[in-house]
């Protein structure tokens, strides 16, 4: 088995227009995708490695992130490949393969210091989002739950799937709970299933994103880590 961090062919420069800057005192919410945004891997691809089907699952993941496949259907297809795996694999992926993206700690520390609420919203899995919440202090997390029985994955997902529509809904919902003077929201993501959330935010940021995302989002971090965003938060 091999562990390979997600890589993103990127344009030559960041796109950080000064006129898109928002004073941190006006920002109430920073929402971000997890896989390939808050962290450097796609968790489902690494889990699939333990089942010997990483190449097949990774190909589906890439197509889904490019917007070529229905996200819900593609997720169910990928999760089905995990049937029978020990749930101990999740702990191994977290401990041995999951790496926070560069600059995440700095961005989260800045948000927490300035009273900004944070949301980690993922089409991935609650096993990992909950541990990221504990580690970095996210205010809220939302993701999908892998079904299990007798210590093994069943190949199914519990309940409704967190997809592009749900990501947008969650951003709008949590933003609506903020004080009137801190309603500005920021969203970061890399895949096509992040686009509705990025469009709904006051400031959407494409982070080492797929071409379809970079084409539609006017602010982009193509070089450097998540803390690059701080340049737009005076």
Q: How many domains does the chain have?
A: 1
User: Tens digit of pLDDT for each residue in 1-28?
Assistant: 544 444 444 466 999 999 999 999 999 9
Would you state the pLDDT for residue 169? 98
User: Tens digit of pLDDT for each residue in 178-190?
Assistant: 999 999 999 999 9
The contacts of residue 13 (CB under 8 Å, 6+ apart) are 222, 223
User: Tens digit of pLDDT for each residue in 149-158?
Assistant: 999 999 999 9
Give dist(CA 230, CA 106) in Å, integer. Answer: 9
* pTM, two decimal places: 0.92
**CATH at 85:** 3.40.50.1000
Q: Is 205 part of any domain? A: yes
3-state secondary structure of 185: strand
Q: Is 156 part of any domain? A: yes
Give dist(CA 172, CA 40) in Å, integer. Answer: 26
Give dist(CA 82, CA 217) in Å, integer. Answer: 34
Determine which one of 19, 33, 45, 227 is catalytic: 33
Q: Is 1 part of any domain? A: no
User: Tens digit of pLDDT for each residue in 208-226?
Assistant: 999 999 999 999 999 999 9
Report, in this order, helix, strand and coil percent for the chain, each rounded to 5.
45, 20, 35
User: Tens digit of pLDDT for each residue in 111-156?
Assistant: 999 999 999 999 999 999 999 999 999 999 999 999 999 999 999 9
> E strands within the chain?
27-32, 117-125, 140-149, 152-158, 184-189, 203-207, 220-221
Look-up: residue for tokens 């938060």? 233
Give dist(CA 70, CA 105) in Å, integer. Answer: 32
Examine the residue annotation and report whether 33 is marked as an active-site residue of this protein: yes
Determine which one of 35, 190, 194, 227 is catalytic: 35
Residue 64 confidence class, pLDDT cut points 50, 70, 90: confident
Categorise residue 103: left if φ over 0, alpha if ψ from -120 to 50, beta otherwise: left
Would you state the pLDDT for residue 222? 97
User: Tens digit of pLDDT for each residue in 197-207?
Assistant: 999 999 999 99
Q: Is 174 part of any domain? A: yes
Q: What is the mean pLDDT of the chain?
A: 94
Q: Is 157 part of any domain? A: yes
Residue 72 confidence class, pLDDT cut points 50, 70, 90: very high
Q: Is 216 part of any domain? A: yes
Give dist(CA 203, CA 112) in Å, integer. Answer: 18
Would you state the pLDDT for residue 167? 98
Examine the residue annotation and report whether 194 is marked as an active-site residue of this protein: no
Domain housing 180: 18-232
Structure tokens at 191: 């895949």
Would you state the pLDDT for residue 11? 63
Q: Is 89 part of any domain? A: yes
H/E/C letters for each residue in 121-152? Answer: EEEEEHHHHHHHHHHHCCCEEEEEEEEEECCE
| Residue 59, number of CB atoms within 10 A of its CB | 12
Q: Is 207 part of any domain? A: yes
């Amino acid at each position: 088995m091999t562990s390979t961090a997600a890589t993103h062919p990127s344009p030559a420069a960041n796109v950080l227009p000064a006129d898109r800057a928002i004073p941190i005192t006006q920002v109430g919410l920073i929402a971000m995708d997890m896989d390939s945004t808050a962290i450097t891997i796609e968790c489902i691809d690494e889990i699939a490695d333990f089942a010997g089907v990483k190449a097949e699952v990774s190909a589906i993941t890439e197509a889904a992130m490019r917007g070529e496949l229905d996200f819900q259907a593609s997720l169910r297809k990928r999760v089905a490949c995990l049937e029978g795996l020990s749930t101990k694999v999740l702990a191994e992926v977290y401990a041995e393969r999951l790496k926070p993206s560069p600059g995440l700690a700095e961005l989260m520390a800045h948000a927490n210091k300035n009273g900004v609420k944070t949301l980690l919203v993922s089409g991935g899995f609650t096993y990992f989002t909950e541990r990221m919440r504990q580690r970095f202090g996210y205010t809220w997390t939302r993701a999908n739950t892998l079904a299990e029985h007798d210590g093994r994955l069943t190949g199914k997902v519990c309940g409704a799937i967190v997809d592009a529509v749900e990501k947008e809904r969650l951003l709008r919902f949590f933003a609506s709970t903020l004080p009137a003077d801190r309603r500005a929201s920021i969203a970061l993501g890399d895949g096509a299933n992040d686009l509705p959330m990025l469009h709904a935010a006051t400031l959407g940021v494409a982070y080492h994103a797929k071409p379809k995302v970079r084409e539609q989002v006017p602010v982009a971090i193509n070089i450097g880590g998540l803390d690059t965003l701080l340049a737009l938060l005076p």
